[in-house]
Amino acid sequence: MSEQTSLTIPLTPRDDVALRNAVALWADTTTAVISLRRHELIHDKQEAARAFFSFINKHPADVTPLDMTEWRCALESRELKPATVYARLSRLSSFFEWAMRDPALGKVINNNPVRLARPKAPKAYQTESSKALDDAQLRTLVSVVKKRAERGDVIGKRDLAILLFFLLTGMRRSEVIGLRGGDIERRDEMLIVRNKVKGGDYVGREVRDPQVRAALFDYLESCGRIKALDTNGPLWTRHDRAGKPGAQLTSHAFSHNLKRYAKEAGIEKIHVHQTRHTFARMVAEDTGSLTDTQDALGHRNLATTRAYVQRISVKRDKHSEGISRRLTE
């Protein structure tokens, strides 16, 4: 990249190639090798940076906080969610911080213009993705996917199994989509699911519901992949023309299908993370216990669980009958 690039001169073809290479290197080196979503994260990081530099058409050394503000306004004008806008600006901030630490790039890029333009981080669990589905919505959504599966459609069978995994286990998006065949152990009438969870720990959990087991085996048998359970290959694969058959399913692909199912079920907006909040709602309502819900979700901090359920659950009355009986004795 040229040190003489001015504020008024757009990127030259040579600068553009150098920038693309720098973005690719940043995305690769700042993404954990062991991440289950490594390829998706690298792609998302590159797209965020490329979209910005294409919009602003400036050398990174010449970018100002005002440019960032302009980009932020452009994103907001597209009615993107606050969390999405914050995430994209955060990725750009990561790029500039990385560039300043690089021995060569740091000679020309010596400030992070995102610092003064990035909005405050949205409050956790206050977005659309934190709204639990009610029971009626849940039944309709499952019914829509189940009908497709019953028609013999392999994608419908796969998506039904995935949806049931989400709803009946409360597992996180990456935990379900990243499952490998060897993570599933068949034990009597239940499944033992082992995976790496948030925080780096490995957890094994029982899945006793027969629906989950039946849906999983129906899917694997329908596509001749039952032996996948004895391998370290992906549990969920693609079966559509848009993707390479046999390639691991991405969370974006499942999310796209889920939105389609939700629209058919009369649900205007849906996010995969809503399945976890829906699980939390049902556990909290069935048990009346915040600590039981915390254990089911695998939260280390009770405050996180409280944020999940405080807006959607009703505290179970476990004491009034006993108190009333004392009053009348």
Model pLDDT for residues 102-118, shown as the tens digit of each residue = 998 899 898 999 998 88
pLDDT at 120: 81
**Residue labelled with tokens 């991405």:** 250
Distance separating alpha carbons of residues 68 and 85, to the nearest angstrom: 11
Which of 251, 273, 33 has its CA nearest to residue 238?
Answer: 251
The band of 326, judged by pLDDT with boundaries at 50, 70 and 90, is: low
**Strand-pair partners of 204:** 194
The band of 67, judged by pLDDT with boundaries at 50, 70 and 90, is: very high
Q: Residues 288-293: what's their mean pLDDT?
A: 83
Contacts for 59 with CB less than 8 Å, ≥ 6 apart = 1, 2, 5, 11, 15, 19
Residue 6 reports pLDDT greater than 50 = no
Order of all β-strands in the sheet with 184-187: 184-187, 190-196, 202-207
∠ Cα 118 89 174 (to 5°) = 125
Residue 33 reports pLDDT greater than 70 = yes
According to DSSP H, which parts of 126-209 are helical? 135-150, 154-169, 173-177
The per-residue pLDDT for range 134-176, each reduced to its tens digit, is 899 999 999 999 999 999 999 999 999 999 999 999 998 888 9
Which three-class secondary structure state does DSSP give residue 167? Answer: helix
User: What is the CA 299 to chain-centroid distance, rounded?
Assistant: 17
The per-residue pLDDT for range 186-243, each reduced to its tens digit, is 888 889 988 766 556 667 888 888 999 999 999 999 999 999 999 989 999 999 876 5
pLDDT at 84: 86
pLDDT at 1: 39
pLDDT at 224: 93
Q: Residues 6-10: what's their mean pLDDT?
A: 42
- Copy the structure tokens of residue 84: 């999405």
% residues pLDDT > 90 (the chain): 46
pLDDT at 254: 94
Which of 264, 279, 252, 276 has its CA nearest to residue 141?
Answer: 264
The band of 15, judged by pLDDT with boundaries at 50, 70 and 90, is: low
pLDDT at 316: 58
The band of 82, judged by pLDDT with boundaries at 50, 70 and 90, is: confident
Distance separating alpha carbons of residues 47 and 20, to the nearest angstrom: 10
pTM of the predicted model as reported, rounded to 2 decimal places = 0.66
pLDDT at 149: 96
% residues pLDDT > 70 (the chain): 83
End-to-end Cα distance, the chain: 87
pLDDT at 2: 37
Are 267 and 141 contacting, i.e. CB atoms less than 8 angstroms apart?
A: yes
* DSSP 8-state assignment for residue 236: S
Distance separating alpha carbons of residues 168 and 142, to the nearest angstrom: 12
Please name each of the domains of the chain with its CATH number: 13-122 (1.10.150), 129-309 (1.10.443.10)
Task: Report the chain's mean pLDDT, rounded to a whole number.
Answer: 84
